[in-house]
Amino acid sequence: MKESRSQTPRFYVDAALRAGSSCELPEDTAHHALHVLRIRSGEEVTLFNGRGGEYPARISSINRLKIGVDVLEHRAVERESPLHVVLVQGVSSGERMEFTIRKAVELGVAEIRPVLASGSVARPKGERAAARQGHWQKIAISACEQCGRNRIPAVAPLVNASDYRAPAMAGVKVLLSPGSDLRFSKFIENRGESFVLAAGPEAGFDTKEEKAFLDAGFVPVRLGPRILRTETAALAALAALNAILGDF
């Protein structure tokens, strides 16, 4: 069954693009375009390469998984949040982590830094950790294709939560901690536009990890009186930031 579309399909192409040129869609993108979107020759699409703006384009040819595209023009369109938010996310299991990354990108996060906590159910190491990073980066790209962003938030390599160190000038550092007496909305008042937001995995950060964040300048705050799931907490905080200080 053909997937219904309410907007022009958007595809990320990691290549130089310019008006009047032609290119081919990457094979995995072509597979999605053909077998999910059921795209046809002559249809209009939008391309972006993460280097600024987007390119209205048209499908010129289809030969199995080789899809040719004519680039029509460049539009200097950006849909980035006025806030610069880095999400330090404790690694959660499977679909929970994927959901968090996808929705954080939709909410405008600038960068995602996964950290492996003692309470993380999923514990990828070595080659598996590198593979996870690559998979999460693809999810971020897919989310940009869906939501209209033309800049790709980077997903950083995995580090241990107790070893995480935010850059000195990274912005206001916030640790989501349900045990804190300080309300999130109260703390972020008049704090500028740059934030580093740390959220724990399923079981939260342990005492040692929380101390490492506090030593790095993070301030513990709470999101109301209820305990939020790992895939809810960071997204609720990002939405609140957008509502209070951003573009909601």
Closest CA to 176 of 215, 230, 216: 230
Contact 58, 192 (CB under 8 A): no
175: three-class secondary structure by DSSP:
strand
- Please give the C-alpha separations between residue 96 and each of 31, 66, 172, 205, 229, in angstroms, as whole numbers: 25, 33, 26, 17, 10
| Same domain (yes/no): 94, 204 | yes
Provide the sign of the torsion angle of the four alpha carbons 54, 55, 59, 61, taken in this order. Answer: negative
Shared domain check, 20 and 137: no
Per-residue pLDDT for 118 more than 70? yes
Domain end: 43, 71, 99, which one?
A: 71
pLDDT at 165: 83
What is the rounded average pLDDT of the residues 11-33? 95
Whether residue 36 is found in the same domain as residue 105: no
Cα(246)–Cα(207) distance, integer angstroms: 32
Beta strand pairing call for 154-155 and 111-116: parallel
CATH code for the domain of 233: 3.40.1280.10
Report the sign of the C-alpha dihedral through residues 12, 22, 32, 15, in that order: negative
Confidence band (pLDDT; 50, 70, 90) for 136? very high
Domain of residue 53, residue span:
10-71
**Alpha-carbon gap, residue 241 to 108, rounded angstroms:** 10
Q: pTM of the full predicted structure?
A: 0.92
DSSP classification of residue 214: H
Q: Is residue 155 part of a domain?
A: yes
Q: What is the mean pLDDT of residues 137-155?
A: 97
Of 1-15, 51-65, 175-189, where does mean pLDDT reach its minimum? 1-15
Q: Given this model, what pLDDT does residue 120 score?
A: 85
Q: 4 pLDDT exceeds 80?
A: no
**pLDDT(129) > 90:** no
Number of domains in the chain: 2
Q: Is the model's pLDDT at 119 over the cut of 90?
A: no
CA distance 12 to 3: 19
What pLDDT does residue 6 have? 57
Cβ atoms 108, 82 nearer than 8 A: no
Average pLDDT over the chain, rounded to whole?
93
Looking at the structure, do residues 102 and 36 belong to the same domain, yes or no? no
Same domain (yes/no): 45, 99:
no
Query: In the structure encoding, which two tokens stand for residue 176, read together?
Result: 């989501």
The answer to whether residues 55 and 70 touch, using CB atoms and an 8 Å cutoff, is no
Instruction: Flag whether pLDDT at 51 surpasses 60.
Output: yes
Q: How confident is the model at residue 1 (pLDDT cuts 50, 70, 90)?
A: very low
pLDDT at 83 over 90: yes
Same domain for 156 and 122, yes or no, is yes
Residue 168 tokens read as 């000195």
Q: Residue 63's domain is classified under what CATH number?
A: 2.40.240.20
Dump pLDDT digits (tens) for 86-104. 999 999 987 999 999 999 9
Domain stops at, among 42, 71, 100: 71
**Banded pLDDT at 150 (limits 50, 70, 90):** very high
